[in-house]
Chains A and B, each alone.
Chain A
Amino acid sequence: MLKRPSSSDSPAQRTLESANADAARISLAQRGLLAGAWAILKKDLAYELQNRETLVVLTVFSLVVVFIFSFAFDLAEAEAKRLLPGLLWMTILFASVLGFSKSMAFERRGDALSGLLLAPIPKEAIFLGKVMSSLLFLLASELVLLPLFFAFFSIKASFTQMGLLVLVLLLGSVGLAVVGSFLAAICQVSRQGEILFSLGYFPLVIPILIAGTTLSKSVLETSQIPPGPWLNVLIAFDLIYAVVCLWVFEYVVED
Chain B
Amino acid sequence: MARWRIQQIFWMATALLLLIGFYLSFLYAPRERVMGDVQRIFYFHMPLAWNGFLAFAITFVSGLLYLRTRKLKYDLWAAASAEVGLLFITLALLTGSIWARSAWGTYWTWEPRLTTAAVLWLMYAFYLILRSYIENREKMRLIAAAYGIVAFINVPIVFMSIRWWRTLHPVLIEPTGLKMETPMVLTLVVALVAFTMFYVLLLAQRIKLAQAEESIQAMKEQLKEA
Contacts and interface: CB of A to CB of B under 8 A. Distances in A.
Given A189-B139, A199-B129, A204 B162 contact: no
Interface residues of B, number: 31
B160 A233 contact: yes
Nearest to A229: B164
B142 A210 contact: no
A186 to B, nearest CB: 5
Q: Among the interface residues B129, B133, B145, B168, which one has the most CB atoms of the partner chain A within 10 A?
A: B133
B123 A251 contact: no
A248 B150 contact: yes
Interface in A197-244: 199-200, 202-204, 206-207, 210-211, 214, 226, 228-230, 233, 236-237, 240-241, 244
A236 B140 CA distance: 29
Nearest to B144: A186
A251 B146 contact: yes
B165 to A, nearest CB: 5
B153 A240 contact: yes
Interface in B90-130: 119, 122-123, 126, 129-130
A196 B133 CA distance: 8
A190 B153 contact: no
B176 interface: no
Given A203-B119, A251-B142, A252-B146, A189 B157 contact: no
17 contacts: A186-B146, A186-B147, A189-B134, A189-B143, A190-B130, A196-B129, A203-B122, A204-B154, A206-B119, A228-B164, A233-B164, A236-B157, A237-B157, A240-B157, A244-B149, A251-B145, A252-B143
Interface of A: 179, 182, 186, 189-192, 196, 199-200, 202-204, 206-207, 210-211, 214, 226, 228-230, 233, 236-237, 240-241, 244-245, 248-249, 251-252, 254
Interface of B: 67, 119, 122-123, 126, 129-130, 133-136, 139-140, 142-143, 145-147, 149-151, 153-154, 157-158, 160-162, 164-165, 168
